[in-house]
A and B are shown apart, each in its own frame.
Chain A
Amino acid sequence: MSTGTALLDPARSRLLNTFGLFAVAAVLLVAFLDQILYRDLPCPLCILQRVGFCGVGLGLVLNLRFGARPSHYAVAILSAMAGALVSVRQVLLHIVPGTGSYGDALLGLHFYSWALLLYVAVIGGCAVLLLFDRQFAMPSPDARPAGTLAMAALVLMAALTFGNGVSTVLECGAGLCSDDPAGYELLPARPATP
């Protein structure tokens, strides 16, 4: 029997998961905009870090579609751990002064450093949400994403995941990506500017 107050009931949990999904989508959107507007092509490790965020998104999508469950938070946490592993690798590659960096910096940190911080935040946030048992009350059998806000978050996340897949195909073709990509393999090269 749960002894906690209903600080986080299923409806509030769903709302929080909706906002969380928008936040994860915003991370992917910023990376995508940087790629498109500033031609900052993602490296292989950067691409794998994006996969981690999409995995976190899937955990939240499951929460929105089927109601909050510990296993859905586990999906988000394990995805964040996988992404964090890749981020740690990239941070350590460049942590020694003089070993260079990859890509642009945003507010003083490179994207892989931001990714590591955000993964830690995701893991911590999911762990905190797991403290509230009342959100795991059984939803009705026909539970569906509540309202247009949740559905918008679902569609946005799915579209960004698919878009990243298409972008990766364009950049890397059918094989592994170059460690230091200079352009899209499947797009005609841009003429050099004088």
Chain B
Amino acid sequence: MMSLPFFGLFAGMALAIAGWRGAAMLAWALSMTVLALLFRQHATDALNIVL
């Protein structure tokens, strides 16, 4: 599951090289969304710091 954003961005690069700009941008947006969701899964503990 954690490899999804890599493959999404790789697809974006392949689409860009093939000349499909809009599809490449969409692949990037989806990959960043997956990145945010995965980050949420891994950032569950409160930080032990005082801000």
Residue ranges of A at the interface with B (Cβ–Cβ < 8 Å): 44-45, 47-48, 50-52, 54-55, 57-59, 61-62, 65-66, 71, 75, 78-79, 82, 85-86, 89, 92-93, 95-96, 99, 145, 154, 157-158, 161-162, 164-166, 168-169, 172, 174-177, 179
The answer on a CB contact under 8 Å between A176 and B1 is: yes
**A169-B3 contact, Cβ under 8 Å, with A154-B17, A176-B41:** yes
**Is B21's CB under 8 angstroms from A79's CB?**
no
Interface of A is mostly: helix
Interface size on B, residues (CB 8 A): 30
A172 lies within 8 A of B6 (CB): no
Once the chains bind, are B48 and A65 in contact (CB under 8 Å)? Answer: no
B-side binding surface: helix, strand, loop or mixed?
helix
B34: min CB distance to chain A, Å: 9
Q: Which residues of A contact B25 (CB under 8 A)?
A: 62, 71, 75
CA distance A165 to B46 in the complex (A): 29
**Are B35's CB and A58's CB within 8 A?**
no
**B28 cross-chain contacts in A, Cβ below 8 A:** 55, 58-59, 75, 79
Given contacts A86-B39, A92-B49, A162 and B10 within 8 Å (CB-CB): yes
